[in-house]
């Protein structure tokens, strides 16, 4: 509707202001249908795709004066307020990223258990060599069946304890173990580019021999056509001087900008939710390690406050859903931003 200036206004300046206001109202009235269209299409527009906040659209309306542009920009910002901006990696700001649940354990759960496990878990851990405290590796030869069953992978190589590195050349041992990990990955059918994770069991600040071994292993894997990652503690450990040390952060801070993927364990409640299997598990960054790609938030057995109140069994273990009695399978529970965190499906 056209708005006319009142004839009773005496001051010419006031008349001019009224005319300008009338023009602005007419201008905005023609832009309102366009705003409605933007509201309807905001989620599919550049506002959602490129991470912009839609404010750049305002500057295309050159005929609007500054006041009208400002008013329109506020309305337009409201139109896109609920749409999360997305960065180049596909993770959304102001919205929880999609996450996937996985499990790992030292012993292969058995072929018959895979269909029921797949109902809960998108991926599984997979050992390339003998797991900690085990005598044999029962995972060998199971990649094809797991892949056919729909599982993604976290591919693990059991690293050395400090007592094994105290003598000799830790870096040479790291290079040798990297070659062993690559050879095992090839035998098991994991394609080049798969992320192989070194199991760094011991927490706290790494000693010089541990650091020498780990980084030699990382360099060897990265040179061999695969990608290196590390499984390490994301739990804050207090030293005698009161400093808080998180192993994953210590490794990253001393890595000289090496390319390393991090899988962290932190089953302390909180931030860990306990032995639970949510449809939308918390993101790995909720572990307390912001750069973590994978978070192991429940272990078997759990530590500290693990109890039936947090989903753990009375024996302290975390059991996968869907199994009863002697068929129960205890697991460690993981969350990742991909259903195939190691990219091992090929």
Q: What pLDDT digit, counting tens, does each position of 278-287 carry?
A: 988 899 999 9
| Residue 89, pLDDT score | 27
Q: What is the DSSP letter of 60?
A: G
Domains of the chain are: 12-79 (no CATH), 100-336 (3.20.20.80)
Rounded CA gap, 37 and 49, in Å?
17
Query: Are 275 and 312 within 8 A, CB to CB?
Result: yes
pLDDT tens per residue across span 310-339: 878 888 889 999 887 788 999 999 999 999
| Residue 119, pLDDT score | 95
The secondary element (H helix, E strand) that includes residue 273 is: none
Query: DSSP assignment of 136-197, as one string?
Result: S-TTTT-HHHHHHTT-EEEEEEE---HHHHSSS-HHHHHHHHHHHHHHHHHHTTPPTTPEEE
pLDDT tens per residue across span 149-200: 999 999 999 999 999 998 889 999 999 999 999 999 999 999 999 999 999 8
The values of phi and psi at residue 164, to 5°, are: -80, -15
Rounded CA gap, 286 and 179, in Å?
34
Rounded CA gap, 321 and 324, in Å?
8
Would you mind telling me the total number of residues written for the chain in this entry? 346
What's the rounded mean pLDDT across residues 239-251?
82
What's the rounded mean pLDDT across residues 12-35?
39
């Amino acid at each position: 509707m056209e708005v006319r200036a009142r004839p009773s206004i005496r001051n010419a300046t006031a008349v001019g202001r009224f005319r300008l206001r009338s023009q602005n109202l007419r201008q905005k009235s023609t832009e309102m249908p366009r705003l409605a269209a933007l509201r309807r299409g905001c989620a599919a527009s550049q506002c959602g795709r490129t991470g912009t906040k839609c404010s750049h659209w305002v500057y295309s309306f050159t005929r609007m004066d500054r006041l009208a542009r400002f008013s329109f920009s506020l309305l337009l910002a409201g139109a896109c307020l609920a749409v999360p901006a997305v960065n180049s990696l596909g993770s959304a700001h102001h919205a929880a990223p999609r996450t996937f649940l996985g499990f790992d354990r030292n012993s292969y759960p058995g072929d018959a258990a895979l269909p029921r496990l797949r109902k809960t878990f998108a991926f599984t851990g997979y050992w390339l060599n003998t797991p900690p405290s085990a005598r044999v590796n029962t995972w060998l030869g199971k990649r094809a069946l797991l892949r056919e069953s729909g599982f993604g992978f976290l591919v693990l190589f059991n690293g050395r304890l400090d007592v094994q590195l105290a003598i000799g050349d830790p870096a040479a041992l790291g290079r040798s173990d990297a070659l062993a990990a690559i050879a095992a990955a090839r035998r098991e059918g994991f394609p080049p580019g798969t992320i192989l994770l070194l199991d760094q069991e011991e927490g706290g600040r790494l000693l010089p021999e541990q650091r020498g071994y780990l980084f030699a292993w990382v360099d060897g894997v990265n040179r061999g056509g695969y990608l290196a990652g590390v499984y390490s503690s994301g739990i804050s450990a207090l030293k005698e001087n009161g400093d808080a040390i998180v192993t994953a952060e210590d490794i990253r801070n001393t890595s000289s900008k090496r390319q390393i993927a991090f899988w962290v364990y932190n089953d302390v409640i909180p931030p860990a939710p306990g032995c639970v299997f949510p449809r939308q598990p918390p993101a790995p960054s909720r572990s307390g390690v912001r750069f973590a790609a994978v978070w192991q938030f429940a272990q078997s057995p759990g530590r500290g406050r693990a109890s039936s109140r947090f989903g753990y069994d009375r024996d302290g273990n975390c059991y996968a859903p869907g199994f009863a009695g002697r068929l129960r399978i205890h697991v460690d529970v993981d969350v990742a931003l991909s259903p195939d965190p190691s990219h091992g499906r090929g």
